[in-house]
C-alpha cells in the first residue's frame, strides 16, 4: 500500500493546486495521504478523494534553540475558529511580516522586488514563504533558479 504523509500544495510552497495534487496522488496509487502545507490547512475542502483515506495534517514552522523547526501534525481539527486555526493565523501573519523584511532588505541590497511581486508568485496561496521570494527574484532576472 502506498501512503504519503508529507506533501504541499500552492496554499504554501507547493507547485500544485490541491485538486491537482490529489489527482497526482490518485495517479501514483496512493491510498492514504495527508496534505501538510506550512501553517495552513486551507487545502482541505478544495478536493474530493474518494479513492483514498485522507488524514488532515499540517507542517508548523517554529523555532527552538534559535533554530527553525518544522513540526508535522496529523488528525487535526479543521476550521479557522479552532484554537489551532487561531495560532495558524498568527503564524501566517509572521510569515507576511518576514516577507516585508526580506523584500526591504533585498531592495536595499540592489535587488528591487515588492511584496506584490512575492504574493503574485504564491498563486493565491495562504502561507507566503521564501520559495515565493525566490520565484519573484527569478522573474525579475536576479536569480537563475530557486536553489541559487
**Is 48 a residue whose pLDDT tops 80?**
yes
- Residues 6 or more apart from 83 whose CB is under 8 A from it? none
Q: pLDDT at residue 59 above 90?
A: yes
Give me 147's grid cell. Answer: 536553489
C-alpha cell at 17: 493546486
* Residue 45 pLDDT exceeds 80: yes
- Per residue in 32-43, pLDDT tens? 999 999 988 989
Q: What is the pLDDT of residue 111?
A: 93
How would DSSP label each residue in 75-118? SPPP-TTSHHHHHHHHHHHHHHHHHHHHHHHHHHTT----HHHH
pTM of this structure: 0.76
Mean pLDDT rounded to a whole number for the chain? 90
Amino acid at each position: 500500500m502506498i501512503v504519503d504523509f508529507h506533501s504541499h500544495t500552492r496554499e504554501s510552497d507547493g507547485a500544485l493546486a490541491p485538486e491537482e495534487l490529489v489527482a497526482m496522488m490518485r495517479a501514483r496509487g496512493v491510498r492514504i495521504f495527508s496534505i501538510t502545507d506550512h501553517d495552513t490547512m486551507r487545502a482541505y475542502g478544495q478536493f474530493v478523494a474518494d479513492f483514498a483515506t485522507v488524514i488532515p495534517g499540517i507542517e508548523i514552522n517554529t523555532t527552538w534553540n534559535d533554530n527553525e523547526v518544522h513540526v508535522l501534525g496529523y488528525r487535526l481539527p479543521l476550521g479557522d475558529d479552532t484554537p489551532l486555526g487561531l495560532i495558524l493565523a498568527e503564524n501566517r501573519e509572521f510569515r507576511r511580516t518576514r516577507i516585508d523584511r526580506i523584500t526591504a532588505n533585498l531592495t536595499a541590497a540592489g535587488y528591487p522586488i515588492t511584496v506584490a511581486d512575492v504574493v503574485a508568485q504564491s498563486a493565491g496561496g495562504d502561507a507566503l514563504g521564501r520559495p515565493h521570494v525566490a520565484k519573484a527574484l527569478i522573474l525579475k532576472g536576479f536569480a537563475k533558479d530557486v536553489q541559487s
